[in-house]
Structure 1
Amino acid sequence: MITVHHLADSRSQRVLWLLEELGLDYRVERYERDPKTGLAPAALKKVHPLGKSPVITDDQRTVAETGLIVDYIVREHGQGRLAPEPGSEAHLRYAYWLHYAEGSLMPPLLLQLVFDTVEARTPWLARPVARAISGQVKKQFIAPQRRLHFDYLENELRSQDWFAGNRFSAADIMLSFPIEAALSGRRAKRGYGYPQLEAFVANIHARPAYQRALERGGPYTYAG
């Protein structure tokens, strides 16, 4: 049986969702974040040397990195579901999105988080300097990169319902976390300009398997 080593309120929520979509039996080993740092606990290093989540164990195998975990589960346990036919053009597109989600889309979002954290945790005497430096990085690099990627994603959904085509796939599960994270802080702002992505988020949140995964994984910031 697959065991998901699940860090509370994290990108490993996608793995639970994938398993629910496939209707597979699994167990959840839940880990709580350090209350001071917000990072994963040291206990996760007993599962994988990097001590990060998600990680799964499948009998004697340990598999880390979300993209590989998703690809592994679909190949080993999916029975042809949630992925286009291997060797097809559609499968190449599907594989692209699996890698793009963490390889290209997440870095500018993580940089945003890092600089927001620096601003918040810098001692107040040095905070004006930290904010000035952080503001320039955000303005000159992070914000343009975010716009570049989200304009690209929005355009992809203008002609189709899902990222790998008109059928829901594991690629949509992989892309869910960065899209949810980016849009969650913007929903209260008018004129955000990404109606296709907003519809995508609404559609995934309405899926029964998504809701079941929330019940298994616990509170998740981007679920509503």
Structure 2
Amino acid sequence: MIVHHLGKSQSERIVWLCEELGIPYDLKVYDRDPVTRLAPPNYKALHPIGTAPVITDGDVVLAESGAIIEYIVAKYGKGRLVLAPDHPDFAQFLFWFHFANGTLQPATGRSMILARLKLPDDNPILRAMKGRLDLALGLVEARLAKVDHLAGSEFTTADIMIVFTLTTMRLFLPFDLAPYPAILAYLQRIGRRPAYRRAMQKGDPDMAPLLT
């Protein structure tokens, strides 16, 4: 299996997952275009969607973070890092796994695009999108004030899904986490995980993870 990692992108999740599971994989790293900061043509050519992440596994070419994580866990993970339906935290696990790219990442992405338009601070659309992001971050903060990991006491793929948005995404949309002490404490716990440190060093050795 080849993990095609675009520097400073959501594909860091897949490198991290492979390191957590301790499974064999080949890592191919691609640099962003120095002017546009977008993926280079050879990365866009990997899959019709043209975005990161992408893996190739034999004849399989798969995109989308959630799909790739579910594929790898199902095929190679032997049930690790996910919760079974009879687990008391199963519903929480499902919610937070999908919340990462269903709610939080879109909120940051829309805010990033609006920020580039240089709209006035009182623009109603800008204010609405900021409100959505604040609400999403507030939900994460409230959850992490009660539990060590998003699903509960156990580290799962829900954590792998969300950390990019709380860290590396801030290179593209700077936002202050000082009002969210539980999130900051959580990121410190994540930063102590050996697999996370290995993944970030392999995928983006020139970048210090934004854990504060």
Superposition TM-score, scaled by structure 1 size = 0.84
What is the match of residue 155 of structure 1?
Answer: 142
What is the match of residue 95 of structure 1?
Answer: 94
Q: Residues 140, 46 of structure 1: CA spacing in aligned structure 2 closer, same or farther, 3 A cutoff?
A: closer
Q: Percent identity?
A: 35
Q: Cα RMSD between the aligned structures? A: 2.0
Tell me if structure 1 keeps the 8 A contact 2:114–2:126: no
What is the match of residue 176 of structure 2?
Answer: 186
- CA shift at 1:93, angstroms? 2.4
What is the match of residue 116 of structure 1?
Answer: 115
- CA shift at 1:193, angstroms? 2.2
Tell me if structure 2 keeps the 8 A contact 1:184–1:222: no
CA distance in 2, matches of 1:109, 1:70: 21
Correspondences of 1:159-178 after superposition (within 5 Å): 159-178=146-165
What is the match of residue 210 of structure 1?
Answer: 196
Q: Secondary structure at the residue paired with 2:187?
A: helix
Q: Residues 69, 135 of structure 1: CA spacing in aligned structure 2 closer, same or farther, 3 A cutoff?
A: farther
Give aligned pairs, total: 207
* Matching of residue 5 in structure 1 with residue 1 in structure 2: no
Q: Residues 210, 92 of structure 1: CA spacing in aligned structure 2 closer, same or farther, 3 A cutoff?
A: same
- CA shift at 1:221, angstroms? 5.9
- CA shift at 1:106, angstroms? 1.1
- AA aligned opposite 1:92: A
- CA shift at 1:194, angstroms? 0.9
CA distance in 2, matches of 1:55, 1:96: 24
CA distance in 2, matches of 1:170, 1:74: 9
- CA shift at 1:145, angstroms? 0.9
Correspondences of 1:63-74 after superposition (within 5 Å): 63-74=62-73
What is the match of residue 31 of structure 2?
Answer: 32
Q: Secondary structure at the residue paired with 2:49?
A: coil
Q: Residues 93, 65 of structure 1: CA spacing in aligned structure 2 closer, same or farther, 3 A cutoff?
A: same
Superposition TM-score, scaled by structure 2 size = 0.89
Tell me if structure 1 keeps the 8 A contact 2:200–2:209: no
Question: Where does structure 1 lack aligned partners over 5 or more consecutive residues?
Answer: 120-130
- AA aligned opposite 1:114: I
Question: Where does structure 2 lack aligned partners over 5 or more consecutive residues?
Answer: none
CA distance in 1, matches of 2:127, 2:68: 34
Q: Residues 137, 27 of structure 1: CA spacing in aligned structure 2 closer, same or farther, 3 A cutoff?
A: farther
Q: Secondary structure at the residue paired with 1:53?
A: coil
CA distance in 1, matches of 2:45, 2:132: 36
- CA shift at 1:184, angstroms? 6.1
